[in-house]
């Protein structure tokens, strides 16, 4: 069938036509937002899971929810140091702040705009951000991210509270923030929570994210609602394939559906990639057969190998690939670092730099002390296929 009519959307952070199996997380976010708007205590949400499970898509749906409610919203992807975070946050907040700037705005909103205009330590005397109105002077930024972010969050949240809305900052790949930035965010969320201000952080990252936050601030487990997401249950995975096709007046044979579900293991990105390849393999016009699914799965796996797995494999050095290959003996893991060292006839300490580099490249993570695991599902099978080839 024609690729142009395919109802599947494989891509990084691209929302599928049907988002299934994430109702609990979305309901949690909606209730959190309503609580914040009515002055009740509400905690931000942290989503964690392997790559390809739909964290970025879920983050985007949560953002849409507060945008519809006229909140001030900023979305960013973690990376760099505290100064980079400050600059990126300022850039992402600016469009929302610009839309709020009106000659007849209230005093709290005017103060919030003044605070924002001086948020970046690199702002010159004329101000980097222009709003077309005169603003009250504010003290220059202190250069301390926690203090400056607290001032900005407080002033802006108080102004939005007057309008029955709030402020939401969405951070993808949150585990990549440096410790200074994470500690500052936790401290600001804590202060805002104590004052029941509608200032929310919604973050997404690898399964190690809860531990990373705890290491930044020991009380972080009380600041957020943590939700682990993974492969979809069979019913939800079926919906992700069947419902979009039904909208195009196309049905799946039971055997065809079972074939793609089994090959995808229920991972949302794999479902989209295999679904798209199967759609293209099917002559149609109205039914996807078992034969179509077999061809589609073979082609879809090839696309995953080339586009999803290989790009990660090629980022690793030869020594790092050896480490990854030895891990594959445990399937998708996790693996004990001691076992990996034993298989390589090395000491765990001597492999520390290799392990650290793989973590920094986002290829593995440490779910707990002494254990490591791949950040992407199916990596062990890919490595085995590489060895056979």
Could you give phi then psi for residue 385, rounded to 5 degrees? -65, -35
CB of 47 closer than 8 Å to CB of 26: no
The 3-class SS string of 4-54 reads: HHCCCCCCCCCCCCCCCCCHHHHHHHHHHHHHHHCCCCCCEEEEECCCCCC
Looking at residue 124, its pLDDT comes to 47
Looking at residue 125, its pLDDT comes to 46
CB contact set of 377 (below 8 Å; sequence gap of 6+): 50, 51, 52, 53, 231, 265, 267, 270, 332
Residues spanned by CATH 1.10.10.10 within the chain?
Answer: 315-388
Q: Could you say which residues of the chain have pLDDT below 70?
A: 120-140, 388-389
Looking at residue 340, its pLDDT comes to 96
* CA gap 144, 142 in Å, rounded: 5
Residues spanned by CATH 1.10.8 within the chain?
Answer: 233-308
CB of 234 closer than 8 Å to CB of 265: no
| End-to-end alpha carbon distance in the chain | 31
User: For 76-99, how does the pLDDT look when each residue is reduced to its tens digit (9 = 90+)?
Assistant: 999 888 888 988 998 899 888 888
DSSP string, 118-152: T-STT--TT-SS--SS-----PPP-S-HHHHHHHH
Considering the domain 233-308 in this protein, what is its CATH number?
1.10.8
* CA gap 265, 382 in Å, rounded: 14
Q: What is the pTM of this model?
A: 0.90
Q: Which residue has the tokens 């004990």?
A: 336
- How is residue 218 written in tokens? 């020991």
- How is residue 304 written in tokens? 């995953």
Between the CA atoms of 335, 338, 340 and 342, what dihedral angle is there, to the nearest 10 degrees? -150
Could you give phi then psi for residue 362, rounded to 5 degrees? 75, 20
CB contact set of 342 (below 8 Å; sequence gap of 6+): none
In the three-class reduction of DSSP (H, G, I as helix; E, B as strand; rest coil), residue 284 is classed as coil
The yes/no answer on whether domain 315-388 falls in CATH 3.40.640.10 is no
Peptide bond before 251: cis, by omega within 30 degrees of 0?
no
CB of 372 closer than 8 Å to CB of 337: yes
- CATH for 23-228 (3.40.50.300, 3.20.20.80, 2.60.200.20, 3.30.70.20): 3.40.50.300
Residues spanned by CATH 3.40.50.300 within the chain?
Answer: 23-228
What angle (nearest 5°) sits at the alpha carbon of residue 26, between those of residues 199 and 77?
A: 55
Looking at residue 128, its pLDDT comes to 57
Looking at residue 65, its pLDDT comes to 95
DSSP 8-state secondary structure symbol assigned to residue 317: -
């Amino acid at each position: 069938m024609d690729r142009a009519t395919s109802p599947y959307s494989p891509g990084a952070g691209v929302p599928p036509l049907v988002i299934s199996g994430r109702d609990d997380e979305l309901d949690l976010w909606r209730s959190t937002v309503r609580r914040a708007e009515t002055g009740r205590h509400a905690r931000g949400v942290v989503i964690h899971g392997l790559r390809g499970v739909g964290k970025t898509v879920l983050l985007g749906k949560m953002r849409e929810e507060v945008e519809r409610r006229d909140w001030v919203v900023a979305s960013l992807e973690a990376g760099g140091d505290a100064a980079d975070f400050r600059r990126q946050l300022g850039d992402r907040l600016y469009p929302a702040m610009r839309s709020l700037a009106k000659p007849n705005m209230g005093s709290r909103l005017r103060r919030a705009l003044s605070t924002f205009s001086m948020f970046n330590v690199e702002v010159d005397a004329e101000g980097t951000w222009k709003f077309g109105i005169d603003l009250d002077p504010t003290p220059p930024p202190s250069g301390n991210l926690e203090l400056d972010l607290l001032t900005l969050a407080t002033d802006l949240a108080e102004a939005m509270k007057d309008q029955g809305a709030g402020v939401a900052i969405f951070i993808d790949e949150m585990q990549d923030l440096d410790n200074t930035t994470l500690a500052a965010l936790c401290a600001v969320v804590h202060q805002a929570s104590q004052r029941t201000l509608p200032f929310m952080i919604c973050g997404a990252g690898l399964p190690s994210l809860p531990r990373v936050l705890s290491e930044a601030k020991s009380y972080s487990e009380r600041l957020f609602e943590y939700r682990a997401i993974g492969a979809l249950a069979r019913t939800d995975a079926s919906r992700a394939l069947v419902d979009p096709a039904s909208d195009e007046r196309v049905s799946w044979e039971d055997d065809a559906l079972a074939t793609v579900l089994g090959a995808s293991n229920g991972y949302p990105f794999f479902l989209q990639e295999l679904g798209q390849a199967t759609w293209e393999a099917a002559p149609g016009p109205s039914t996807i057969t078992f034969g179509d699914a077999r061809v589609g799965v073979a082609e879809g796996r090839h696309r995953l190998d080339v586009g999803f797995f290989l790009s990660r494999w090629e980022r690793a050095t030869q020594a790092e690939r050896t480490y990854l290959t030895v891990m594959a003996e445990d399937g998708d893991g996790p693996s004990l670092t001691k076992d990996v060292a034993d298989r390589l006839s090395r000491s765990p300490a001597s492999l520390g730099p290799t392990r650290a580099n793989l973590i920094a490249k986002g290829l593995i993570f440490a779910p707990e002390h002494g254990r490591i695991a791949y950040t992407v599902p199916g990596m062990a099978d890919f490595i085995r296929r590489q060895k056979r080839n």
